[in-house]
Each structure stands twice: as C-alpha cells, then as structure tokens.
Structure 1
Amino acid sequence: MDSRWATTELAWTTFPESGWEEVSGYDDSMSPIRTYQVCNVRQPNQNNWLRTDFIPRRSVLRVYVELKFSVRDCASIPNIPGSCKETFNLFYYESDGDTATDASPLFRENPYVKVDTVAPDESFSLLEAGRINTKVRSFGPLSRGGFYLAFQDLGACMSLISVRVFFKKCSTTIANFAVFPETATGAEATSLVIAPGACVSNAMEVSVPLKLYCNGDGEWMVPVGSCTCIAGFEPSGESTQCQACSPGTFKSKYGEGSCSPCPPNSRASTRGVNVCPCLVGFSRADSDPPDNACTTIPSPPQNVISSVNETSLSLEWDEPVDAGGRSDLVYNVVCKKCAHERAACTRCDDNVDVAPRRLGLRQRKVVVRNLLAHTRYSFEVQAVNGVSGKAAAAPRYSTVNITTNQAAPSAVPTVHLMKSTADTLSLSWLPPEKPNGVILDYEIKYYERGQGMSHTVTAQHSSAKVEGLRASTPYVVQVRARTVAGYGRYSDPQKSVQDQLPLIVGSATAGLVVIVALVVMAVVCLKKQHSGSELEYTEKLQQYISPGMKVYIDPFTYEDPNEAVHEFAKEIDISCVKIEEVIGAGEFGEVCRGRLKQASRREAVVAIKTLKAGYTERQRRDFLAEASIMGQFDHPNVIRLEGVLTRSCPVLIITEFMENGALDSFLRLNDGRFTMTQLVGMLRGIAAGMKYLADMNYVHRDLAARNILVNSNLVCKGGKIPIRWTAPEAIAFRKFTTASDVWSYGIVMWEVVSYGERPYWDMSNQDVMTAVEQDYRLPPPMDCPMVLHQLMLECWVKERNLRPKFCRIVGTLDKLLRNAASLKVVTSNQCGKSPDESSEEIVRQQMSQTLPIRV
C-alpha cells in the first residue's frame, strides 16, 4: 500500500470525528496527495484515532511501514496547556478479513498492538516551512489474512503526509548453477529463511543440499551446495546456464570446464557429446580417458634372432616400425611344439620355462628352458598394446622355427638328511639347476665309507628313504637325475652331508636340544638388552628437559593404564567420601555432589563422577584416563583433581565442585547482569588456563563454553569435534594443535560476550563449514568492544601459524583490564546504529566481500 498514489479520497476511519481530518496537499515534488492532519492542542485529554483500510497479508511474515509526517514545535504555539505533544503512536490489528466497522474493534491499545511511539527528528515553528520527517518501522510475525494500521494522536499538531506499507524479499537468483526462488524475509529482522534450490537445465548436483539463506534485509547469503554442468555441456551466460558442446567438440566430465575439440582419429557429428567416437580402424583402451587420441594396434616386431643351446633357446628382437600411436607396447612369446613338418603345431605344456615371463614383456629378450631334445618348435613374438584386444584383427607377430639339441641334466646340488633310525636314512635334495628337459626319475647311490661296493635305488621325486642299513655306520650318499637324454652327473660326495661329514645312521638328532637352548638364551639376552636400552634412553631424554619444566604425558603411552592412574592421581579411602545428591549424567555414569573429609584438611564440597555398573575393561581404562590427565595439572583455572577410588565399587573420580555449573548455561541465566570488565575477567581466566595447558604441550581439542565450569567467585575453569568451535584444519585434516585451540577460544569469547548465544545461530553444521571456508566470520555481539572483536578475528585467521599464542592473548586481556576505557568503544557506536543493526550490517559487509551474490 502507498497512499501517495491515491487519486481519490482515502476515506480512512477516524475516531472521534473531531480528530483527524483528510485534506489535499503536496509532496516534496509538489505532486498532489491526500493527507491527514490533526491539531487540537488547545483542548486537553486528546485521544484521536485514524485507521487504514484492510491490507491483505499475502503470506508475508513481517511488514515495514514508511511514514512521512511533519510536527509543529509545541514551543512555537502560544497560550497552550501543558498537554501539547510532539509524538504519535503506531498500532496494527490483525484479522482474517475486512471485518472492522466504525465502532469495532474498540479504539484502544487492546485489541490493537502497539508498534512504536514515533517522534520527529525535526519539528517546525510557525515562522518556517514545515519539515518532513521519514520514519520506517516494522512488525511481525503476522499469521492471519491481513491487518489494519492505526495512528493515535494524544495532543500533537501534525500532518500525516503519506503511508507506504511494504515487505522485503530475496528475488529469484541463480548461484552455482542452481535456481533459487523468490523468498520473503522471515518473521524477525534477524531471521534467516532457507530457500531450496534446483539445478538449471543440463546441470547436476555436486554437493547437497542446495539452499541459500535469505536474511532480514532481503539479501542472499551463505550458499550451500552447488550444481555443475553435466558431461557434454559447458557454462554460458555468465555461468548461469549450461549449453551443449557444438559438433566437433566434446566434454568428458561434469564440471565448469569448457568443451574441447575432438582428439585425433575421432569425430563428433552431433551436439552435446561426452566422448568423440573413434574412426574406423582406431580404438581406445578401457583405461584411456575420453580426451585421449584414438589409436591402433602395432606392427609386428622386427629382426627376431634365435640361438639354440642344447634344450635351451634365446630369443631377441627389435621394436615394431609402428607402435600404433601408444606408449604401452608390450610383447608376448607363444611357444608351439611341432611333431613333424606337415603336422599342426600345439601349445607347449607348462614344463617349458620362459624367462622372465611369457606375457606382458617390456624387454625384447627371453630365455626358454626345459625344451625336449631333438624336437621342432615354433615361437611367435607378438607386439601388443592397450587396444590390441579391442581391434577386430588379431595381434601382429613374427615367427621363428627351431630344433633343439641333446642335453643331459646338470648335477644335483645338495643332499639333506631329514631323519635317521637304526637302519634307515630319510633324504631330500634340490632338483638340478639345469634339468634340460623333464626329469623322469632320480638314482640314489650309497655305500659304507671306505668300502668300494655301492648300492642304488630310484625315486620319482626329490626325496627317498634308504633302508636295510647297518647301525652306527657312516655312509656316503650321491644322487643324480635322468631325462630322455640320459643321466646327469652325481652330486659331490663331500657336499652330500652337513659340515662335510659322512651320514651316521641313528645320530642325526643329537644337536636338537642344544639349538633350542641357544634360542632361549638369545631371547633372555634380548630382553635384558632391551630393558637396558630403555633405561639408557630415559636417562638421555632427561638431559633435554629443563630443570623444573613439566611436560604432559599421555596416559595411553603406558603399557598398563593403571600405572598412569597411580602415578598421577591420589587414591582416596572410601570412608572420606560422602555422596549427597545426583546432579547430572556423564559419559560413563552419574555425576554427583558430595563432601570430602580427609585428615588435617577441612571438609570440602566436591563433584563425584561414577563409573556405571557393567562396564568393560576399556570403559574403565578410558574413565580413569581422565583422572590421569587431570592429575598432571595444577593451575587456578584448570579443574583440580582431588583423587580417585579405584578399589571400591563403583569406581569414583573426585574433583573440586563448581557451584555455577557450565559457563554457557550460566551466562544465559544471567543475560546482561555483568559488566564488560567482569566478562573480560572471565575470558582472562580461560585464556590463562589454556596458556598453562599449552605450555605443558597439551592440546584441549574441545574448548567450548559448555566445557568450562564457573565457581561462586566467577572463576572459569576448563575440564576435558564440535564443528562450530573447531578450526578448519582440524575438521578437514584432524590436525589438532594449540593453534586450533586458539580458534576455539575465539568462539568461546563470542559466547561469553553474547551471554551464551549459540555460535552461528540456527545454521546447520554443513552450512557453518561452508561459510567458514568462504571466509565468513561471526559478527560482533551486541555491545561488544571493538578490541574484543578484533581479538576474536585474530583467533579465526585461516593460516594457523598467524593466530596469536595464548601468552599474547593473556597479555592483551590484562592490558584491557588495566585500561577499562578501551572497553567502552563499542562496534555499534562506530557504525552509528543500534547494536542489532550494526551486527547485521557487518554480516552483510562480510558476506558481500566473500560471496558475490547480492540481489
């Protein structure tokens, strides 16, 4: 609604009739408009109402009203009573339809809802022209079919020049190849309304969900998810559309790349292709990417040379003239045995050895062994590449025909005694290094040492048992192999027994016990040496630790975690502990409040953590590991461990009691009750505790207001991978360091100054990660000193090595506490706006710098 464009009387409802009066007037550009005036200042107890016609809501949740008006200065009106006003009130009334009458609803604050008391920036006197004021007010959330506006005059001399009613929206936009519809703003000025998106034509989702946030000013922010052009389509129209690749071009993958010309030996005759088909006679391997050129099979190998040595063969060859346009050329050697010249050749059996292998050769040389003597063979040397299996034609090859010579096997290298009894020897041996054919059997020759008469037996395999021997008699044994070419040489008799001694029947196991004893002694010696080296290493390590310096020790480095508990935590007798009430639930069991009374110490209120019944050994270890960690710390801003009870049931951990509980809930319960100096004092305590932990080389990993406890003196203490508090490198790469703790500390600062507000409000974790990656940072909370927000931003620097150390943070906060005046310079004052408006403006400025989506 805009009253400036009214061409006839507005005829709004007035009460009483002697109050507001509709008159014709002129706007700033001297165009005729309809206005309402009232000036009953000389009459006391004025209560004049003016109500607009019904205004349909159109599903809008929050509306804005722009008022142009002028007000006369009461001081410029002579002889008036003290009831003269220079302000008026704005109201609204919701209804499902245009049901209002002259008398209903009653003209009073209830049922009308007051929006604001409107005052002019400038009033005018009788001696000067009227000065027009412009004010904008908003209200919501609206839920019914429409509403009326009402204006209440309590004794002013004024003119309501124009009324404009409007709402804000985020217009339809395209971002990251996704279309987001027109979206009205939310019910509150700070609301973020989620608009779901849909990929443009010929685009696909690459990250989901697709959504944009529409803020209260009708501006898009924090895009989440994205689309990209599918294969065969490229971006166009300033990256808002995806158009098909033209004929002769292609795009093989989805993404924002452009179409490319078809590779050699391929052609695309249609639009929108993701691969160019190969020309006839050319192919791509299955592993070839679509942007590779199409290739063909290689020509045959050249100049194959063969060299026969008895039943062995050497083959060498040169590269093909044409490798087919590929670099993955390999060779296959196919062996075929031919019975005679006119008979068909058949594949060689597996006994034929081709070294280094038969298929997939990179080198151009092989050696073939174990061929049959006096046999004709044919060898094919094939040249193949990645498309040989794709082509219709068989691989191209060169052939060489050879005939082997006669050759007996070489000597058996070594004979081993496996076992002996009173009259037998169990033997084994290795085959000949050069069998020169298939070994048919082995001959074993044996005789008594010093005797000339020998005996022989045969064996089909490389082991045998010789029986019928005389006990306690030394024997000499020799073995030889036989092929179709005959027997090979006997094994050397001097090498047929261990340590160059003859085999003695019945005495081969004599050394077994000695060997076992040596093994046991070796193990004992190793353990002693290992123990000594650990002691020596520990002594050396102590040389590098400065006197008085204390370093955190991970309890899980102990072989037995119970040792860590007993070293770092004090064992308390069960009679000293009294549990009073359950105050919460922990990860491993209940958390209670109780009392601890120890000899020569005053009774103290303590927190008691219990390990629930039915725990596993791992749960017990993890539960006590917390005590092993806490027991190593001694600092005013770190929770103090009183001790543990490991010999009782249940197992207990006793810590100091913090009366005010978790910091985040404590701040929310006391919103606005502390001075900025008190808040900075809390922050200083947290930073001091973190500096102490950092100096001990301990990384907290989970620093957040919910993990900080507050005692009755407002002292904050830290106890033990939430996305909103975690540094980007810790989320992406699990890189937890003191620098990532500094990032989390910056979030804690924001929580403290905002009195426990949830970081990033109602944004999802995925949206938070996306926004932070795009350099969005939290704006300053309401009434936040500039120096504190600047320190937060330093903690959130993306490059972790540039973030401040905790020692510098403590020093900075100490300076602020000594110079309290620096805490009075607030970010909102700098911008000249209310705190809420300032925060929103900073958000908009940041988002406009990092996200180029402003509609």
Structure 2
Amino acid sequence: MRFCSAPLWVWIISALTRWTVEPVEVMLLDTTRSTAEMGWSTHPDTGWDEVSVLDDRNQLIRTYEVCNFNLPNQNNWLATPFVMRGSAPRMHVTLRFSVRDCSSVRNVGASCKETFTLYYKEADSQTEALQGWGETEDAGEPGGGGWVKIDTIAADKSFSRVEQSQQHESKRGHRMNVKTRSFGPLTRKGFILGFVDSGACISLVGVSLFYRKCPETFRSLAHFPDMPSGAEPSSLVPVDGSCVPNAQSQTATTPKLHCNADGDWMVPVGVCVCEAGFESNQNGSACTACRPGHFKSDVSESPSCSPCPAQSHSSQEGSSVCQCLSGFYRAPEESSDSPCTAPPSAPQDLHWESEGSGLTLRWRAPLSLGSREDLHYNVLCRMCPAPSTVCLRCGDGITFTPGQQGLSQTRVQVHNLLPRVHYTFQVQAVNGVTGQSPQPPQYSSVNVSISQSVPSSVPMMHQVSRTPDSITLSWPQPDNPNGDILDYQIRYFDKSGDEESSVLLSSETNMATVQGLSSGTIYVFQIRARNEMGYGAYSGKLYFQTLLEEERSEAVQKKLPLMVGSVLGGMAFLLVGAVLILVFVFRSKRRESTYSDRLQRYISTRGGGVKYYVDPSTYEDPNEAIREFAREIDPAHVKIEEVIGAGEFGEVCRGKLKPAGKREITVAIKTLRSSCMDSEKCSFLSEASTMGQFDNPNVLKLEGVVTRSRPVMIISEFMENGALDSFLRENEGQFSMLQLVGMLRGIAAGMRYLSEMNFVHRDLAARNVLVNSNLVCKVSDFGLSRFLRGDDESLPTYTAALGSKIPIRWTAPESIQYRKFTSASDVWSFGIVMWEVTSYGERPYWDMSNQEVMTAVGDEYRLPAPPNCPGTLHSLMLDCWLKDRSERPGFEQIVSTLDKLIRHPAGLKAISTHTNRPSQPLLSNTPVDFSTLSSVSDWLDALKMGRYKEEFSSAGMNSLETVSRMTLEDIQRVGVSLLGHQKKILNSIQLLRVHQNQGQIEV
C-alpha cells in the first residue's frame, strides 16, 4: 500500500523527533451523520441507489447501496460532489461500508465480487470534473477520462443473507469495514471521488474526506504556523519559524520544523534564544523579563536569570547587568557575573629602620582587602630639602629593592638617600579595582630624615701592576660617599685559605700596594670606604694573582738589551717621570677621583699577558670607554649599500669600508636613529665598547665606530650567512654531522676565550651566533653581557638587576631563580645551542610557554635528542644541563671533547637512544586524554601544534578517524616541515590508533 511506502529513515527520524502536539484533521466531507439527501452523481441509473438506513445507534442516516452481483459485466459509478482542496496537496478518505459474502449466494458464478474500486479526478470545477460523464463507454474505465485509481477496496468482513434479512443492525455493525486511504499530489483547485462497483453487494455507510496539517505551535522560543502535510507519504515540508519577542536566532538561519505526512512536527533545525535580560518560560513559548534583583548578561540558551552577584543590584525588569553598589566596582577584565569588590584600606603600622645610607620600610596588610586577593603595594617618595619647603618627587638616584610598583611583600629597601634631607614615603594599597574608583588609593605615610650615612660600596678594583711578592691596585670612590671619604680599608686573603685569615690594610688614596705576598698565588681582595659616620659595606670579591719568579726573569731578559742602550735616555725619562708621578699622586689624593683615573685597562690575575674585560657601564662617561676600546673611523671611508635588517636602536646595513692605504672590505653597519635619547645612545655604544676588547677568530670583530658625525655607526665584520638559527632552517639536512660539530667547536672556542676574560654572555643562543661564507661561527650580540665579579662561593658571578631581560629557554635554572650568571650558566646555554644546531634551528621546547619551560626544567626534565643526533653529542648536552653548576664542564673541556669527535668521527655514528641518566627527556610522559578529544582542532591543541589547524583543514583532515590513517608522507604533504613537529605528530597518531582499539593511553 502507498501509505507504507515511505523510506525507513523517515519513520526512524519521525519516531525520534516527533513533537508531542497532536496533528489536526481538517474535514472537507463527512456523510457519517448525514440525514438529508446527498444527491451524488451515479452512472448508470440502474447502479448505485441513495437509501436511508438505521446506524448502529438506531439513528437514520443516508447511504448508497448497489447489489447487482447476479448480472455480469457490472460497471456502476458513484461520484461525490466537487470538493475544493484549499492549500492541501494530499487528501485522506475514510470509508465505512459493508459487503455481502458471495459464498452465501447460490448459483452465482464469477460475476459476484466482494470489492469495489476507488478513483479521484482533479479539475477546477464540478462541471469540468463531470464532463463526458456517462457519454462514452470508457468514461469510467481506469485511467480514462482523467480518473486516477486510488486503490481496490476489499472487505475484511462480510455478512450473509440471513443477517441481511433480519435487518439486525447491531449484528450487522459487527460486519462493518473501515478503510482509510490517501491520495495525491493534488495540483488543481479541487477534485471528485469515484466509487466503481463491478458486481458486488455493497452498502457505503459513510465517507469522511479530510486532509492533515501540522498545528500551530511554539517550540524552542520560535512560532511555527499551521502547515498542511506534504504531497507524498514520505514528504517532509520545511516550515520557517519566527523567534518570539525578545528572542533571536542562535545561528544565521531562521529556525525550522518539518511537517510529515501524518501532520506531526519533526526534525527541528536551529533554535531561538532569549536576549540579554530575558529568560525562557516553562514551555519555551515566550521570553520573559528578568525580575528585579536578577539578570542575564548575554544571548544564550541559559534557561533562567541569575540572582545579582554580591554587592550589586538591579532595580528594573529585564536587566542584562547588575550595577555595583556605591563604593564597589568590577575590574575591566571581569565579566558581568563577577561579584563587585572594593579597593583595599590603607596599609597598617608603616615604619622604617635605618640601614647605612638607606632604610627599610615595613608595614602590615590592610584591615580590609575589599573581598579580593590581588593585593599589591606602590611606594611613593617625595623629598623636601628643608622643613616647610616645597617637596619634589625623589630623583632616579634613589633605588628601591625589590621595586617601587606592584609589590607583593610588605617590605622594601630604599638605597642612596641623601643626608640632611627630609623624605616622605607613602605606601599605597591597590588591587584590581583601585583604578575604577574616583578616589585615590588609600595609603599610609611616614617622614624620614637621615642626618648622614656611611658611604656606599666601592664598585670595582683594578690591578695596576704586580710582582712576585706584591700587587698594586686602584679603585674609584663610592658612587654615594655621603660626605668626605677619610680612608679606605682593604681586606685580602689567600684564595686557598679562608676569610678568618684575612689581612687588613688602610689607604688614604685611591691606590695601594699590597706587599709581602707569595709568588704565583691567587688572592681574594675586598675594599670599603669610611666617612665620619663609619665604614660602608665591603665590595664584592675580586681575584688577583702575583707573578711567578720565572715570569719576572723572562721579562727582565727581554728588556735587558733595551735597558743597556737607553741609559742616557732613561735619565731624561726619570726626570720627566718624577713630574708625572707627582701629578698622579696629586690626582689620586682627590676625594672626587673617578674612573677617569683608572690605569688598569689590562689586568692579569691568571698569569702574564692575560687580558680581562672591563665593563663599559662602570665608566661615568661612556665616550671615555668608546675612546679607549673602539677605533674612530672617518665617515668618508664608509659606504652604506643596502639595509638588511632592523636593530633595537636603528637599521642594520651592509656596506663597504675603505681605510686610507688599505683594501676595501665588506662590513656590517649598525646605525643609531636620530630620535634616540641619550640613554639609548649610551646602550648602543656600550656594545661597541664591549666588542672592541675582543680579538678572537670565533668572536665577532669590531672594525670601529663613527661617533663624531651623524648617523652614529658601529662597524663590524660582515657575516655572509647571517644568524645561525635561520641559516640552519633554510638549509635543513644539507650538512653532515661532522660539519655541524665543526660549527659547534667554533662557538665553544669563542666562548672559551670570553670566559677566560671573566666575561659572561647571558644571551648565548643560535640567533646570536653569526656564520660567514666559510661556515665559521662567531659569537655576537653582547647586549646582555656583563663582567663577572666574585660572589660568596668564590665563583666569578654577575647578578642581574630586577626587571632585566632573561631569555628563559636558554637560561640556566639558577640564573632564572636567583638572577646569578656565571660561565657555568653560559655552558647551560651552549647545551641549548647544541640542541638547536643538531635539530637545524628548531625552537627549544617547541610551543611550550616560558612558565611551562621553567616548571619542566625545575622537575629535571631535559630536551630529548633531536632526530639522528649522535649519542655522544646528546650526552654532552645533558652534561651542560646538570642541575649543580659546579658539575657542568667548562668551555675548555667542551672544546677538547668536540676536538676528539672531529679527530675520531666514528663516535658520531651511534644515534642517541634513551639513557639511564637522571635527567628525563622532556615531554616523554605528557598525558593526553584521547577520550576528551572531539575534533582535530582539539587534538592539535593538546599537542601544542595548534599552528597547523588551517593546514590540516585545507588538506581535508577533518576527523580523528582520518588523522589516524596518516603517514609521515601525509604529514609532510599537509605542510609540517619541521622534523621535531613531524616526529611529535607521528608519535601521537600511532598512539591514537592504539586508543581507538584499546581505550585511553598515555602519550
């Protein structure tokens, strides 16, 4: 039957998504209760008869009957009046009829039937529908005259002649047949139904003609009008809904429901959601305004409004946000459902404690934190030259440790205060909403007046000369003498001994000779200054070594011929020298002696002839350091050819240098932009002062500077292949492992030279190593580099100031935690450089954040060996990454190890595997819960490979099932070019396959 011909999927969807609202049947014709004459059309006249009968309730109704089964070739037609279909494309008809059983009739042959046929004919009027009715013999033939067969109607139950003769309607009702059929699609204005008898005894008791429609309804906050069912049994008629007032569609398209052939709503598409300030009622038919005291902040499926957060209120209906009460606020980054909070009250019990030329401010937390946890403190300082005078902001000379803004602890040290000056300190308590309040932050204040302080520490000492039993030293006066310096006290002891054996020596000048020392011995020196208030703090520890006896003998032998030939000249020199000594002594006695009096550009503490680096930042006049360490170049000899990059202070160019009488060479030129401030110019030239002290084939060479004209320039040798990291990425896989080791050996040799000069780089990375056309690597970029001083562990150390930049991925853990930098921390950085080189410029720790890197390194996780990395090189990397800095190899040992590998390259053939070392390969046990991943995007984010989302999507890799079948070639084809990323993704794909078969697994 056509009614059951709908595809299976339609009925499955209908069963799962059918709405509970009942369908509507619109009745167009119903004879079941008709008592008046109906007057339907019949053909021929001897066929169907309209008669009145009693129904099962003994009520008189009109029916049509025919009973010509004893005559052959019956073709009796009965037609309904013309029915207007309206907008319905499909009709349903329910027939109530009874049929006599042919077996109960004797002597009747094949002419007796127990069925009749149902037809329909479309037309625009009844006249058209009945045109030709009965005029031709085939007018009623199936398919003739525009008639369309609906079905042959067969009786399930029939009655006998005895029942008919008794006219027992109650018993006859038990033999009544009820059949329902549908027909369509209908396209014209109306139709008529035709009933054709071919020789049966039939009583047509009732005809109900109707169509079904899906009723008007509200679903998911959308209104859907009533809709006639579709033209076919399997039809799903889409109906656009409209969002109820104060609601809007959740998507760009309007919501839809589908009306099936039975008049049921099904297959919803899209929903409407209430706007901000409104919530859905219980049956989802309307959006009602939030009550006062409640709010709904956004357009969402959230079914109800929420009570106002703490310290906020809403006085009107339909509020999308609750306003904060007076004195309470929300931080700009906080959402409207966050509670309102208040600024903190003032800090408590602010007081100060004197410490030499400074003080320590202490206080307690405020009584009220404003219901927040993000409490910080700011310290404001104002200085008043005298009481009742105008107070000014404190100058930059006054420093605060650990800082002046955003403090989390309740103490701060203030340094370099001037004597006999009145200070006022304010400590403000601030939190995330302090800036929202129109009132200034609450604070506590304290007045301070220091009569006079002891001197600050002496910043540096330099060796002037040495003999086997003495060392002559000079030093500058303290940066803050806080009065007249009366004298200096030197403390020294044998490095192999201890501080308890220290010897004290006083000097009234900025120079002293320490005698009675042992030859060839390293001594530790410290110095402090004294004014009328007492001694200041000792300087850091510095190390100087006396000459060996044989070193002095060799020097005398070399100078003897010159001494014999210069006796007369020497007499004249002594006279001039005496005058110079007097001038020098006079200058050294000056209390304001500065580093302009330094006589120690070259100092030797590890044997004769070793040159030590002098920090340009210790010069009060940066131009003095430039004049001492860098050669001034005539700008007429410099030609800029091309801009090749941008530096921190200006452009980086390639150009030519043609000194007078020398050949022209290609150089790199850094220029200083004209808008730079004086402090930026000092930082710019400081790097040149640093580079000018170095002379090593593996350290970038400074050619000179141009400072007496514009633009100011730093000129260095030109490295054709640029930075090492980008050079390796551009030439991935193009070099043998022996060539890579040769590059690393050059870098290590340059760092060995720098460490021997007591110099720490602090920013050693592949990006700061340059490569020339012969693949020679040279250390460069000394912007973060500093001179090393002795610390409490007798290890030359540089301590970085708070707020200074630290390259986390390349920096040793002790340098991150304590801001202590040594040659051992440079060794750690060299290990990272080794990993960069062997991975061809891969980013260390990939896409991990700086915080994740610090956590992983602190947990003793270490980077795994790059693909095809020899085990000997990875073992050397792990040695460089030992937690105890004293156990790491020195650069001398690293150079020796690399030299052995170059001489015996067989050691480079064994590829690194898992080791039993205590350091764990980084990310070897990072868990990924595949059960929580629903998309390729989620999977890439879990691997920290989110950068490749667009590539995977463009390649059609849109499901985890598709991804699980990818090979290495597929990964490369998608666009993943970095070897480390390819390996990481491929490993995860293999584990994804296992998970699909066995469940969750750890990656």
TM-score, with length taken from structure 2? 0.45
**Residue number in structure 1 paired with 2:50:** 22
Q: What aligned pairs does 1:413-424 form with structure 2 within 5 A after superposition?
A: none
What's the secondary structure of 2:89's corresponding residue? Answer: coil
Map Cα deviations across residues 182-220 of structure 1 (whole Å, 9 max, x no partner). Answer: 222222222222222222222333356422233332222
CA contact (8 A) 1:444 1:478 kept: no
User: Percent identical across equivalent pairs?
Assistant: 39
- 1:229 corresponds, among 274, 284, 297, to 274
**Residue number in structure 1 paired with 2:457:** 410
CA contact (8 A) 1:285 1:390 kept: yes
**Do structure 1's residue 183 and structure 2's residue 218 form an aligned pair?**
no
What's the secondary structure of 2:126's corresponding residue? Answer: coil
Q: What aligned pairs does 1:130-145 form with structure 2 within 5 A after superposition?
A: 130=172, 131-145=175-189
Q: What aligned pairs does 1:525-540 form with structure 2 within 5 A after superposition?
A: 528=907, 531-534=910-913
Shift of 1:339: 3.1
Shift of 1:175: 2.3
Say if 1:414 and 1:135 are closer, same or farther in 2 by CA, change over 3 A: farther
Say if 1:514 and 1:326 are closer, same or farther in 2 by CA, change over 3 A: closer
**Residue number in structure 1 paired with 2:379:** 333
**Residue number in structure 2 paired with 1:692:** none
**Do structure 1's residue 93 and structure 2's residue 139 form an aligned pair?**
no
- 2:351 corresponds, among 305, 310, 316, to 305
CA contact (8 A) 1:230 1:255 kept: no
- 1:368 corresponds, among 408, 414, 428, to 414
Q: What aligned pairs does 1:455-534 form with structure 2 within 5 A after superposition?
A: 466=601, 474=609, 518-519=897-898, 521=900, 528=907, 531-534=910-913
**Residue number in structure 1 paired with 2:98:** 70
Map Cα deviations across residues 547-572 of structure 1 (whole Å, 9 max, x no partner). Answer: xxxxxxxxxxxxxxxxxxxxxxxxxx
Letter in 2 for 1:109: P
Letter in 2 for 1:245: C
Shift of 1:349: 4.1
Shift of 1:290: 3.5
What's the secondary structure of 1:531's corresponding residue? Answer: coil
**Residue number in structure 2 paired with 1:632:** none
**Do structure 1's residue 204 and structure 2's residue 248 form an aligned pair?**
yes
**Do structure 1's residue 213 and structure 2's residue 258 form an aligned pair?**
yes
**Residue number in structure 2 paired with 1:43:** 71
Shift of 1:91: 1.0
Shift of 1:527: 9.2
**Residue number in structure 2 paired with 1:272:** 318
Q: C-alpha distance in 2, partners of 1:217/1:462?
A: 106
**Do structure 1's residue 109 and structure 2's residue 155 form an aligned pair?**
no
Shift of 1:464: 10
343-352 or 183-192, larger mean C-alpha shift: 343-352
Letter in 2 for 1:14: T
CA contact (8 A) 1:474 1:502 kept: no
Shift of 1:249: 3.3
Q: C-alpha distance in 2, partners of 1:621/1:299?
A: 60
Stretches of structure 2 lacking an aligned partner (at least 5 in a row): 1-28, 134-138, 164-170, 465-473, 483-509, 514-543, 557-576, 622-752, 760-778, 780-889, 917-954, 957-967, 975-986
Map Cα deviations across residues 128-157 of structure 1 (whole Å, 9 max, x no partner). Answer: 253210011112222222222111111111
**Do structure 1's residue 385 and structure 2's residue 764 form an aligned pair?**
no
Q: C-alpha distance in 2, partners of 1:59/1:145?
A: 9
Say if 1:516 and 1:445 are closer, same or farther in 2 by CA, change over 3 A: farther
- 1:359 corresponds, among 405, 417, 420, to 405
Map Cα deviations across residues 768-809 of structure 1 (whole Å, 9 max, x no partner). Answer: xxxxxxxxxxxxxxxxxxxxxxxxxxxxxxxx99xxxxxxxx
Letter in 1 for 2:60: P
Map Cα deviations across residues 278-311 of structure 1 (whole Å, 9 max, x no partner). Answer: 3333333334443444443322111101123233
**Residue number in structure 2 paired with 1:324:** 370
Shift of 1:24: 1.8
**Residue number in structure 1 paired with 2:443:** 397
Letter in 1 for 2:195: F
CA contact (8 A) 2:118 2:151 kept: yes
What's the secondary structure of 2:377's corresponding residue? Answer: strand
**Residue number in structure 2 paired with 1:153:** 197
Letter in 2 for 1:143: T
CA contact (8 A) 2:295 2:305 kept: yes
Q: C-alpha distance in 1, partners of 2:915/2:364?
A: 62
Q: C-alpha distance in 1, partners of 2:338/2:992?
A: 39
Say if 1:520 and 1:272 are closer, same or farther in 2 by CA, change over 3 A: farther
**Do structure 1's residue 118 and structure 2's residue 153 form an aligned pair?**
yes
Shift of 1:36: 1.0
**Residue number in structure 2 paired with 1:52:** 80
Say if 1:116 and 1:258 are closer, same or farther in 2 by CA, change over 3 A: same
Query: How many residue pairs were aligned?
Result: 525
**Do structure 1's residue 241 and structure 2's residue 620 form an aligned pair?**
no
Map Cα deviations across residues 207-235 of structure 1 (whole Å, 9 max, x no partner). Answer: 56422233332222333322333332233
**Do structure 1's residue 127 and structure 2's residue 162 form an aligned pair?**
yes
Map Cα deviations across residues 685-720 of structure 1 (whole Å, 9 max, x no partner). Answer: xxxxxxxxxxxx9999xxxxxxxxxxxxxxxxxxxx
235-244 or 313-322, larger mean C-alpha shift: 235-244
What's the secondary structure of 2:103's corresponding residue? Answer: helix
CA contact (8 A) 1:310 1:373 kept: no
CA contact (8 A) 2:357 2:456 kept: no
CA contact (8 A) 2:603 2:610 kept: no
Letter in 1 for 2:148: V
Higher relative contact order structure (alpha carbons within 8 Å, sequence separation ≥ 6): 1
Q: What aligned pairs does 1:819-830 form with structure 2 within 5 A after superposition?
A: none
CA contact (8 A) 2:294 2:306 kept: yes
- In our comparison, the structure showing a higher alpha carbon Rg is 2
**Residue number in structure 1 paired with 2:390:** 344
**Residue number in structure 2 paired with 1:785:** none
Letter in 2 for 1:386: G
Say if 1:483 and 1:301 are closer, same or farther in 2 by CA, change over 3 A: farther
Say if 1:530 and 1:13 are closer, same or farther in 2 by CA, change over 3 A: farther
What's the secondary structure of 2:191's corresponding residue? Answer: strand
Q: C-alpha distance in 2, partners of 1:430/1:82?
A: 138
Q: C-alpha distance in 1, partners of 2:221/2:423?
A: 66
Q: C-alpha distance in 2, partners of 1:525/1:262?
A: 76
What's the secondary structure of 2:436's corresponding residue? Answer: coil
**Residue number in structure 2 paired with 1:252:** 297
Letter in 2 for 1:344: V
CA contact (8 A) 1:283 1:390 kept: yes
Say if 1:736 and 1:114 are closer, same or farther in 2 by CA, change over 3 A: farther
Letter in 2 for 1:410: S
307-316 or 87-96, larger mean C-alpha shift: 307-316
- 1:192 corresponds, among 231, 236, 259, to 236
Q: What aligned pairs does 1:705-744 form with structure 2 within 5 A after superposition?
A: none
CA contact (8 A) 1:90 1:117 kept: yes
Say if 1:50 and 1:252 are closer, same or farther in 2 by CA, change over 3 A: same
CA contact (8 A) 1:373 1:437 kept: no
117-126 or 330-339, larger mean C-alpha shift: 330-339
TM-score, with length taken from structure 1? 0.53
Letter in 1 for 2:140: F
Q: C-alpha distance in 1, partners of 2:323/2:972?
A: 63
Letter in 2 for 1:360: G
Q: C-alpha distance in 1, partners of 2:218/2:290?
A: 22
CA contact (8 A) 1:408 1:483 kept: no
Q: C-alpha distance in 1, partners of 2:906/2:89?
A: 78
Letter in 1 for 2:79: R
Shift of 1:60: 1.7
Letter in 2 for 1:19: G
